[in-house]
């Protein structure tokens, strides 16, 4: 193998599994250490810089970081990264003075944001400190987009959302709420230098089955219904409720129903349970509240009696997979099953729709009537129009919307300066040795052996009485500290200097997880089998040195390195050093 180019920031970036997996590349271990040190404001601000909504995301994030967490490869469960983010938000004191200063003298450029969800708010967050004037238009009566209209208050208290939306709007964004934009041309005609489209994926999929028309009064599109609940237009639902669909929207629908008078609420899914799209923890939360899930039931009809919905019929199916793993649902031949109900909530998917964008304003539309958007710059074929969030590439989640908002802001800034939007500024990278003296390092490598701690929940009986009562209670300080100590400090990197190594083997001998091997070089596949422990995780890189005096090379398998620092501790010549690597994604206004 060729020697590893560890001067390329992407090498060590990838070693920080959680940060790498986070769409916004939040420096996770850095903020977890701050929490362990009781520095909640610092932990909060590190998050705020990257993901803009720490309080919201600490409760609702899809947490792609957690399945990536190295701890999950060393023992059973990853660090509770997401819930630690909430700890930072919960325990911080006032941070308003730490928010960026907004120049009173503007730079003369005017931007329009259509939509006020997390993507558009991130664009505002990044461009306001640079002196832009921003007009934000949203059909809703307050900012936050789906975070406000869809995510129920028992998962995300309004106060938390208001605080974090407030930090951005208070920068001087000119808001135009209750304003539905029905023409992009109209917006462009106002002479904006750039337009950001962050309108999300606002249309809920319907289910056309016999009885749909007749039963309409009691059949609701899930996301429309959730928005009506959030804005107080709907306060009740029937006693018996069927929720169709197995995603997170279905979970929010069923749990909300339980709080609005539903007594017998069932989730009914076409697919096998193992293929339900909802996050495992959302399913778990719904089940804890007494909501059963029925798998392998395909809707056949809405049953209407005397012009009123009385239930639904389902056909039982069995999943079968062909040799390519493609699934088909085969009817079992049993009689159709009747589920009585008063109301049905349809949560079977969400779509984009852009009825308000004229097809002659230079924005090309491609497959599935989606706008053609550049995956790096988020620019559309009309150079003034940028997309981000669910509007760009279909429904995802808040953190993805934020990440895309940051990148769109970079592009808008480049574009407004007349620079090439493809020349992206480099990420900010700092590497700092942690060595302080003999046996002394400036990071705390002592990790907690305990299994992942559980976040306490409000008692179900009480939680169900009030749709605004938050179910998860968050970690207390002591538990947060222990959970924070489960983090392995994967950003404290093992950095090797060939010229110092005397090949004494001390590092290889001490490494608790057999990461280090001195060996004759070979091609990667062969090398992977010959190390002290086979390097079977192909997603993790091998760190290969240049030739050493004995003509061998050092190979370190990054996979299960505990970042304990023992290799550096036991190295007589400091050929190994532990260096804290901080990677910050390029932001609008960063120097190129």
Ligand X SMILES: Cc1cc2nc3c(=O)[nH]c(=O)nc-3n(C[C@H](O)[C@H](O)[C@H](O)COP(=O)(O)OP(=O)(O)OC[C@H]3O[C@@H](n4cnc5c(N)ncnc54)[C@H](O)[C@@H]3O)c2cc1C
Instruction: Using CB under 6 A, list all residues that contact ligand X.
Output: 60-62, 114-120, 137-140, 145-147, 150-151, 180-181, 198-200, 202, 223, 226, 248-249, 252, 356, 389-391, 395-399, 401
Handedness of CA 174, 186, 147, 477 (dihedral sign): negative
The partner in contact with residue 536, picked from ligand X, ligand SF4, other proteins, none with C-beta cut-offs of 5 to 8 angstroms by kind, is other proteins
The binder of 447, among other proteins, ligand X, ligand SF4, none, by C-beta within 5 to 8 A per type, is other proteins
The least CB distance from residue 517 to ligand SF4, in Å, is: 11
What three-state secondary structure class fits 133? strand
**Which ranges of 334-448 would DSSP assign to H, the alpha helix?**
390-393, 398-417
Binding status of residue 554 toward other proteins by CB under 8 A: no
Residue 456's contacts (CB-CB under 8 Å, 6 or more residues apart) are 472, 473, 474, 475
- In whole angstroms, the minimum distance from the beta carbon of 204 to ligand X comes to 8
Note whether 149 and 140 are within 8 A (CB): yes
Q: Is 570 an interacting residue with respect to other proteins (CB under 8 A)?
A: yes
Site mask, other proteins, residues 482-511, x = CB under 8 A?
--------------------xxxxx--xx-
Beta bridge partners of 385: 195
516 binds, among ligand X, ligand SF4, other proteins, none (CB under 5 to 8 A by kind): ligand SF4
Q: Are 490 and 81 in contact (CB under 8 A)?
A: no
Q: Which is nearer to ligand X, 42 or 252 (CB)?
A: 252
| Residue whose tokens read 């404290």 | 492
Q: Which does 533 bind (CB under 5 to 8 A by kind): ligand X, other proteins, ligand SF4, none?
A: other proteins
In b/e form, how buried is each residue of 65-103, taking b as 16+ CB within 10 angstroms?
bbebbbbeeeeeebbbbbbbbbbbbbbbeebeeeeeeee
Which partner from the list ligand SF4, other proteins, ligand X, none does 198 bind, CB cut-off 5 to 8 Å by kind? Answer: ligand X
Looking at beta carbons only, is 331 or 512 nearer to other proteins?
512
How crowded is residue 524: how many other Cβ atoms within 10 Å of its Cβ? Answer: 14
62 binds, among ligand X, other proteins, ligand SF4, none (CB under 5 to 8 A by kind): ligand X
Choice between 13 and 570, CB closer to ligand SF4: 570
Smallest distance from ligand X to CB 406, Å: 12
Estimate to the nearest angstrom the gap between the alpha carbon of 550 and the chain centroid: 47
3-state SS assignment for residue 22: coil
> Can you tell me which of 441, 475, 543, 581 binds other proteins, judged by CB under 8 A?
441
* 512 in Cβ contact with 562 (< 8 Å): yes
Asked whether 243 and 250 are in contact (CB, 8 A), the reply is: yes
CA dist 407 to 13, 126, 129, 282, 471, Å?
18, 10, 16, 29, 34
Beta strand 542-544 with 553-557 is: antiparallel
Coil, helix or strand at residue 196: strand
Binding-residue total with other proteins (CB under 8 A): 38
Considering only residues 534 to 553 of the shown chain, the ones binding other proteins according to CB under 8 A are: 534, 536, 549-550
d(CA 205, CA 221): 7
Q: How far is CA 214 from CA 211, 221, 308, 310, in A?
A: 5, 15, 7, 11
Q: Does 439 participate in binding other proteins (rule CB under 8 A)?
A: yes
Nearest approach in angstroms of CB 121 to ligand X is 7
Which positions touch ligand SF4 (CB under 6 A)? 494, 501-507, 510-513, 515-516, 556, 561-567, 570-573, 575-576
Residues in Cβ contact with 360 at an 8 Å cutoff, skipping those fewer than 6 apart:
none
Query: In angstroms, how far is CA 303 from the centroid of its own chain?
Result: 39
Shortest reach from residue 248's CB to ligand X, in Å: 5
Of ligand SF4, ligand X, other proteins, none, which one sits near residue 444, judging by CB under 5 to 8 A according to partner kind? other proteins
- Beta carbon of residue 566, minimum distance to other proteins (angstroms, whole number): 6
**Calpha distance 246→419 (Å, rounded):** 45
561 binds, among ligand X, ligand SF4, other proteins, none (CB under 5 to 8 A by kind): ligand SF4
- Rounded least distance, CB 577 to ligand X, Å: 38
Minimal CA–CA distance to 138: which of 119, 115, 113, 120?
115
Q: Which of 13, 39, 73, 457 binds other proteins (CB under 8 A)?
A: 73
Min CB(508)–ligand SF4 separation in Å: 6
Nearer to ligand X, 401 or 564 (CB): 401
Contact residues: other proteins, CB under 8 A: 73-75, 439-441, 444-447, 449, 502-506, 509-510, 512-514, 533-534, 536, 549-550, 560, 562, 564-566, 568-573, 578
């Amino acid at each position: 193998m060729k020697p590893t180019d560890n001067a390329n920031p992407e090498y060590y970036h990838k070693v920080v599994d959680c940060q790498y997996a986070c769409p916004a590349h939040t420096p996770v271990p850095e903020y977890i250490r701050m929490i362990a040190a009781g520095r909640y404001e610092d932990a909060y601000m590190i998050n705020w810089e990257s993901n803009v909504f720490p309080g919201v995301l600490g409760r609702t994030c899809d947490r792609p970081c957690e399945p990536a967490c190295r701890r999950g490869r060393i023992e059973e469960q990853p660090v509770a990264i997401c819930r630690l983010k909430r700890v930072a938000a919960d325990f911080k004191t006032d941070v308003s003075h730490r928010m960026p200063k907004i120049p009173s003298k503007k730079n003369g450029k005017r931007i329009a944001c259509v939509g006020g969800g997390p993507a558009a708010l991130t664009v505002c967050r990044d461009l306001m400190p640079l002196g832009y004037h921003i007009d934000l238009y949203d059909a809703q009566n307050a900012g936050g987009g789906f975070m406000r209209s869809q995510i129920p208050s028992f998962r995300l208290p309004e106060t938390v959302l208001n605080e974090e939306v407030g930090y951005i709007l208070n920068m001087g964004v000119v808001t135009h709420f209750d304003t539905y934009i029905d023409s992009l041309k109209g917006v462009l005609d106002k002479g904006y230098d750039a337009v950001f489209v962050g309108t999300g994926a606002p249309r809920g999929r319907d289910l056309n089955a016999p009885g749909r028309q007749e039963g309409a009064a009691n059949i609701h599109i899930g996301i429309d219904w959730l928005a009506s609940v959030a804005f107080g237009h709907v306060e009740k639902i029937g006693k018996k409720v069927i929720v169709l669909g197995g995603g997170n929207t279905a979970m929010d629908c069923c749990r909300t129903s339980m709080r609005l008078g539903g007594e017998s609420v069932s989730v009914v899914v076409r697919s096998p349970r193992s293929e339900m799209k909802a996050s495992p923890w959302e399913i778990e939360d719904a089940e804890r509240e007494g909501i059963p899930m029925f798998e392998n039931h395909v809707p056949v009809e809405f049953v209407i009696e005397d012009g009123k919905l009385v239930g639904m019929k389902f056909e039982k199916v069995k999943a079968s997979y062909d040799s390519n793993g493609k699934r088909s649902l085969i009817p079992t031949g049993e009689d159709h099953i009747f589920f009585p109900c008063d109301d049905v909530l349809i949560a079977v998917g969400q779509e984009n729709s852009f009825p308000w964008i004229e097809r002659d304003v230079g924005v090309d539309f491609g497959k599935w009537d989606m706008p053609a958007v550049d995956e790096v710059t988020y620019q559309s074929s009309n150079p003034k129009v940028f997309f981000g969030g669910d509007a760009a590439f279909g429904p995802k989640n808040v953190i993805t919307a934020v990440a895309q908002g940051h990148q769109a802001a970079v592009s808008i800034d480049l574009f407004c300066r007349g620079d090439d939007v493809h020349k992206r500024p480099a990420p900010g990278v700092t590497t700092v040795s942690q060595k302080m003296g003999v046996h002394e390092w400036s990071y705390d490598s002592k990790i907690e052996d305990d299994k992942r701690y559980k976040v306490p929940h409000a008692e179900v009986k009480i939680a169900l009485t009030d749709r605004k009562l938050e179910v998860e209670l968050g970690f207390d300080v002591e538990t947060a500290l222990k959970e924070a100590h489960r983090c392995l400090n994967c950003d404290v990197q093992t950095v090797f200097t060939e010229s110092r190594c005397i090949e004494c083997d001390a590092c290889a001998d001490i490494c608790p997880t057999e990461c280090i091997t001195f060996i004759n070089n070979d091609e990667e596949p062969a090398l992977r089998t010959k190390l002290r422990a086979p390097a079977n995780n192909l997603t993790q890189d091998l760190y290969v040195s240049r030739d050493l005096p004995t003509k061998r090379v050092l190979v370190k398998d990054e996979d299960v390195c505990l970042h304990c620092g023992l290799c550096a501790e036991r190295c007589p010549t400091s050929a190994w050093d532990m260096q804290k690597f901080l990677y910050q994604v390029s932001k609008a206004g960063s120097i190129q």
